[in-house]
């Protein structure tokens, strides 16, 4: 199956940024779980910084859900 590139004129910019955020958060969580708990606090601090950066963004609820999911995953990993 050949991937289809969406028409840039029809792509919602907020959704495009959100997709990039979700990919970056997934990479961050994977990196922490592969390299050990020592990196988890740094990742949690990065999530806190992202929250501050996004504080003024419209449609923030979706972003917060993504950040919450990454934070929950890291905290669960730390609790094991």
Q: Locate the domains of the chain by residue range.
A: 37-80
DSSP symbol at 23: H
Please state, as a whole number, how many other Cβ atoms lie within 10 Å of the Cβ of residue 45.
10
Cα gap 42→35, rounded to integer Å: 12
pLDDT per residue rounded down to tens, the chain (80 residues): 666 666 767 888 888 888 999 999 999 999 999 998 888 999 999 999 998 888 877 677 888 899 999 999 999 999 98
Compute the C-alpha angle 15/22/45, nearest 5°: 125
């Amino acid at each position: 199956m050949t991937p289809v590139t969406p028409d840039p004129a029809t792509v919602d910019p907020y959704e495009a940024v959100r997709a990039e955020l979700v990919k970056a958060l997934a990479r961050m969580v994977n990196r922490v779980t592969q390299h050990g708990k020592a990196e988890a606090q740094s990742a949690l601090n990065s999530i806190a910084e992202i929250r501050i950066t996004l504080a003024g963004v419209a449609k923030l609820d979706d972003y917060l859900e993504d950040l919450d999911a990454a934070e929950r995953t890291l905290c669960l990993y730390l609790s094991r």
